[in-house]
A and B are shown apart, each in its own frame.
Chain A
Amino acid sequence: MSDLAVSDGAPDAPLLEVKDLKVHLRVADRLVRAVDGVDFKVDTAECVGVVGESGSGKSTLIRAISRLMPNLQVDELSGELRFEGRDILRMADRELRTLRRSRGFAMIFQDPLGYLNPTQRVGRQIAEALSPDGRGRSEHRRVLDLLDEVGFADPGAIARRYPHELSGGMRQRVMIAIALASDPKLLFADEPTTALDATVQLQVLETLYRLHKERNMAVAIITHDLGVVAELCDRVYVMQAGKFVENATAVDLFERPQHPYSARLVELSAHRLDFRGMQQ
């Protein structure tokens, strides 16, 4: 029997399905249509990319999907959000937490410092993501393995550090380790590798790709780096001003971009401008 049939949602529903999602925010007297009617879906074991303009609503999308919208003045939040067919927009908080924990979906947010606990060692924070009390020997082993998988040469030493004792890229990797700890079916990551050097980035992407292959982990990745999209993604959404302007396979996006903004992205990432020597 397949894994899918076990879930209580519709058997052939996509893993994550978003329909006509709107997130309108209020700033003073102004309305910001941060996400303005998007349809989005991630199938089981699929890798999806989301690229787009800065400020186009990508982070708001992931926050709405995770229902983490602290101190936001929401003017309108509507549409459908389904994970394995279950309505997560209207689900009780407790149910949502359970769903997340038991092989549900894990999120990596854009600003790691905002989501790490400054007073707790990072090893402990990863252990807590493994199991609620997270104190056993096997948990400790697993913490070290996870740190190893995100490219730390000395997991033991890193586990004992506090977030402020880590560099920007190290914190980003700790966030990835925390997300992977729950062995998710879907990993939704907002700019997870921006602070990583090329070799560590490659290693982290390899880890994600391996988990994607071995455990059928679906990945949705928000990124400004078309190289990441080219490496990892089957399908790509291009976002501009709260809407998706293109949804294409990765190959089509690079070879036959339909929307002018997509075309510009592809063009710019292929040919870097040269500013050197302009001064003389």
Chain B
Amino acid sequence: MSRPVLSLQGVSQIYSSRNASGWGWTTVRAVDDVDLDVHEGETLAVVGESGSGKSTLAKLLLMLNLPTEGTVAYRGVALKELDGAQRSEFRRQVQAVFQDPSSSLNPRMTVEQTLGYVIRRHSLATSAEQRAFILKQLGSVGLDPPEQYLGRYPHQLSGGQQQRIAIARAMMLEPKIIIADEPLSSLDVSIQAQVLQLMQDLRVRTNVGFVVISHDLGAMQSIADRTAVMYRGRIVEIGADIYDKPAHPYTRLLLDARLLPDPRRGRIRSMAAAASPPRSTALEGGCRFRDRCPHAIQICAETEPKLRPVGIGATKAACHRAEELTGATTTEKQAHAALGEK
């Protein structure tokens, strides 16, 4: 494969925050020793636990956060060593769609001003063509009729409309990499399909690479070449086929917890009473999933598993028992126990 556009090596991001008593500080290792390459033309999905460090990872890739440890490199050059020209190339070639669209759009600028600003700054169209250019972009993300939206401020748009403006802004620059944090979360499935198609078209046309963070495993399965699964600051599994052949017990748990769009098979409604799931706290040493893992054994408490290749495919997982567990299905009882159900 080509040389990565972005790469992370041993990257950690540590935040400090007040501890529970309010007197001292605790540190949160939001991202903990992560290696990752991002390529042109590849769609990399990042899924995982809420609070596991996905948005922090996105900010590191975008140079918005400086890593506490490790290096972030753009085309092989560490970010801190980029010169002015490389830096502005980076700003142009790596675009972002943030998790919270309302805060990434300037509240005092209309849609036309927001997009017009980017168009002028990067000379995407002449001023005579600007309006037609914007209308085309709006149409492509399903804002129809597009003229309606030109004069609107962000608060005059619905959640999904804001999200689509942010997507249009990132895509119209035709960058090399787009890092999108939950770009689909406020879109109905029919608009989602349209946006996924648009991403696919752009990829075919410009060979753009995507890093898409999402909780929607179904959508990610349909677009991702590779998927990274995060749990408590770490990538615990990464590979092409994690949906059909999960190697890490957490991945399997995630897949098992998906809701089925079938009202006759609801798992919640059929439960007499919901038990609360196992409580987890900071674990010293060993595997960080062991307090919820139905397969934990002695070694899991002693040695932290490293992310390593499993089997003959390109999948890597951080689990001592990955080989024996790959593809094997969890029994219903184990899944329920791990999900905290009775």
Contacts and interface: CB of A to CB of B under 8 A. Distances in A.
A170 B103 CA distance: 17
Interface stretch (B126-134, B183-191, B311-319): B183-191
B268 A148 contact: no
A264 B259 contact: no
Interface in A137-185: 148-149, 151, 153-154, 156-157, 159-161, 165-170, 173
A219 B47 CA distance: 28
Contacts of B84: none
Contact of A273 (B55, B196, B253): B196
A272 B223 CA distance: 10
B58 to A, nearest CB: 11
B317 to A, nearest CB: 18
Interface stretch (A37-45, A48-56, A91-99): A48-56
A156 B17 CA distance: 12
Contacts of B224: 276
B259 A228 contact: yes
A153 B215 CA distance: 19
A168 B55 contact: yes
Dominant secondary structure of chain B at its interface with chain A: loop
A60 B336 CA distance: 38
Interface stretch (A7-15, A82-90, A109-117): A109-117
B188 A198 contact: no
Contact of B261 (A168, A198, A270, A273): A270
A270 B260 CA distance: 9
A165 B15 contact: yes
B273 interface: yes
Contacts of A278: 200, 204
Given A226-B189, A272-B221, A55 B161 contact: yes
B276 to A, nearest CB: 7
B49 A54 contact: no
Interface string A209-241: 110000000000000111111111100000000
A80 interface: no
A167 B230 CA distance: 14
A202 interface: yes
A196 B215 contact: yes
A250 B55 contact: no
Contact of B187 (A198, A224, A279): A224
A245 interface: no
Dominant secondary structure of chain A at its interface with chain B: helix
Nearest to B15: A165
B258 interface: yes
Nearest to B100: A113
B148 A197 contact: no
A198 B189 contact: no
B49 A200 contact: yes
B80 interface: no
B269 interface: yes
A101 to B, nearest CB: 27
Given A54-B188, A276-B222, A195 B259 contact: no
Interface size range on A against B: 35 or more
A166 B81 CA distance: 31
Given A196-B215, A274-B222, A276-B222, A71 B274 contact: no
Q: In the complex, which of the residues A202, A266, A276 has the most CB atoms of chain B within 10 Å of its own CB atom?
A: A202
A231 B50 contact: no
A111 B260 contact: no
A195 B159 CA distance: 13
B4 interface: no
B22 A160 contact: yes
A269 interface: yes
Contacts of B340: 203
A5 interface: no
Contacts of A206: 268, 271, 274, 341
B261 A230 contact: yes
Contacts of A253: 263
Interface stretch (B6-14, B149-157, B166-174, B294-302): B149-157
Interface in B43-80: 47-52, 54-55
B281 to A, nearest CB: 6
Given A198-B217, A209-B269, A59 B158 contact: yes
A32 to B, nearest CB: 8
B112 to A, nearest CB: 11
A58 to B, nearest CB: 8
22 contacts: A28-B151, A53-B188, A53-B191, A54-B158, A54-B160, A151-B50, A168-B99, A197-B48, A197-B50, A198-B254, A199-B254, A200-B50, A205-B268, A226-B261, A228-B259, A229-B261, A230-B261, A230-B266, A272-B219, A273-B196, A275-B223, A279-B200
The 8 closest A-B pairs by CB, nearest first: A227-B259, A54-B160, A169-B50, A156-B20, A206-B274, A198-B257, A194-B185, A250-B263
Interface of B: 15, 17-20, 22, 26, 41, 47-52, 54-55, 99-100, 102-103, 142, 148, 151-152, 155-161, 164, 181-182, 185-193, 196-197, 199-200, 203-204, 215, 217-219, 221-225, 253-255, 257-269, 271, 273-274, 276-277, 279-282, 339-341
